[in-house]
Amino acid sequence: MEIRKAVIPAAGWGTRFLPATKAIPKEMLPLLDKPLIQYIVEEAISSGIEQIIIVISSAKSAIQDHFDRSVDLEQTLEQKGEERLLEEVRRIAGLDKICYVRQKEQLGLGDAILTAREIVGDEPFAVLLPDDIFDADVPVIKQMIEVHRRYGGSVIALWRVAEEGTRRYGIVKPKKIEDKVYQILDVVEKPGPQNAPSDLAILGRYILAPEIFQALRVTPPSKGGEIQLTDGLALLLKQQAVHGYEFEGTYYDAGKPLSLLKASVALAVKHPEMGADFKEYLKRLIANL
C-alpha cells in the first residue's frame, strides 16, 4: 500500500527555547528564511504525500495562520511591486494538503500520533518530526518510502552516533538485511554507551504500519506520564518486522538553541543567494576573534 498520509507532531511546549517560545510556537522559529515546520511540510509534499496531518495544541494557531492565505499582505506586496515575495507567500498558502488535529494534553509523541488515528485510518503512514532537518538530494522520507515498498511494515530512520549520542537518542539492536537496511530486533531509549546495543540511533522520520496505534494504546506511560513512541515500537516489533534505514543526506538537529544556530550557519553557507556573502562575513568574524 502506498504512503499517502503524513503526521507532523507540533503540539509540544518548546521549553528548551524559552523565552522565545512563550508566545511563538517552536515550529515557527526561523531556519534562515523559513520556519522549521515549512521545511517538514515541503519534504512531505515533495515525497508524494497527499495529506498532511499536523497535530497542534491550543497555543499553536500561528502554524495554521502561516499556511493560510493573508489577503491584506498579498495586496500590500502587490502594490509595492514585491513580486518575488508575493509569489512565495502565495506558494505557501497553496500548500493545501494540510489538516489539523488538536492534542489536548502534551502526553508525549506516542499520544500525539494516537490523536491522528481517525484521520490516518487503517493504512501505513509517515511521521516527520520538526526538530530534525535533513539536507538530501532525495528527501529522506521519500527514501524510506522506497524501503517500505520493498519490505512493507514500519521503517525507522537511523543515524550512526558517537558514544555520547547513545545518551540522547533511542538506540536500536540491528540485524543487517542489505546495505543501509536492517531488521530491528530491539529498541532502547537513551541507554548510554555501556548498555547501547549498537551505535545506530533513531531520528525523527518514520513509516509506521497502522498496527502501531494498537501498540500505543497498550503502551504503559513513562515516569512523566507520557506515551513514548519508542516504547510502542518495542511492542510492535514483537508482532511484526520493523526495519531501519540509514538515510543518505546530512542531518541537522534543530531541537535546541545551539544546534539550531549550527544548522542555520551550515545551511546559510550553502544558500545560493546569501552563501558567498555569509562566508566572507564568517571569515572576517573569525579573524577578529
Express each pLDDT in 179-219 by its tens digit: 999 999 999 888 888 888 999 999 999 999 999 999 999 99
Instruction: Using alpha carbons, list the distances in angstroms from residue 54 to 37, 101, 217.
Output: 10, 6, 20
Q: What are phi and psi of 170, to 5 degrees?
A: -70, 135
pLDDT of residue 251: 94
Cβ within 8 Å of residue 270, ≥6 positions away: 135
Confidence of residue 288 (pLDDT cuts 50, 70, 90): confident
Range 67-76 average pLDDT: 84
Instruction: Using alpha carbons, list the distances in angstroms from residue 217 to 113, 211, 224.
Output: 11, 10, 17
pLDDT digits (tens, 9 = 90+) for 138-160: 999 999 999 999 999 999 999 99
In the block, cell 536500536 appears at 172
101 pLDDT more than 70 = yes
Residue 198 cell numbers, joined: 549498537
pLDDT digits (tens, 9 = 90+) for 221-265: 887 789 999 999 999 999 999 999 999 999 999 999 999 999 999
pLDDT of residue 284: 93
Confidence of residue 276 (pLDDT cuts 50, 70, 90): very high
Whole-model pTM over 0.85: yes
pLDDT of residue 51: 93
pLDDT digits (tens, 9 = 90+) for 20-44: 998 899 999 999 989 999 999 999 9
Strands 154-160 and 242-246: parallel
Range 169-173 average pLDDT: 91
Residue 198's closest CA among 227, 221, 175?
Answer: 175
Residue 156's closest CA among 189, 191, 195, 200?
Answer: 200
3-state secondary structure the chain: CCCCEEEEECCCCCHHHCCCCCCCCHHHCEECCEEHHHHHHHHHHHCCCCEEEEEECCCCHHHHHHCCCCHHHHHHHHHHCCHHHHHHHHHHHCCCCEEEEECCCCCCHHHHHHHCHHHHCCCCEEEECCCEEEECCCCHHHHHHHHHHHHCCEEEEEEECCHHHHHCCEEEEEEEEECCEEEEEEEEECCCCCCCCCCEEEEEEEEECCCHHHHHHCCCCCCCCCCCHHHHHHHHCCCCCEEEEECCCEEEECCCHHHHHHHHHHHHCCCCCCHHHHHHHHHHHHHCC
Quote the CA–CA distance of 119 and 275 in Å, as a whole number: 41
pLDDT of residue 164: 85
pLDDT of residue 74: 83
77 pLDDT more than 70 = yes
Quote the CA–CA distance of 36 and 180 in Å, as a whole number: 27
Strands 51-56 and 170-178: unpaired
Identify whether the C-beta of residue 252 lies closer than 8 Å to the C-beta of residue 266: yes
Range 12-23 average pLDDT: 89
pLDDT of residue 96: 66
Domains and CATH numbers, the chain: 5-255 (3.90.550.10), 256-289 (no CATH)
Identify whether the C-beta of residue 55 lies closer than 8 Å to the C-beta of residue 11: yes
Range 173-177 average pLDDT: 94
Identify whether the C-beta of residue 134 lies closer than 8 Å to the C-beta of residue 140: yes
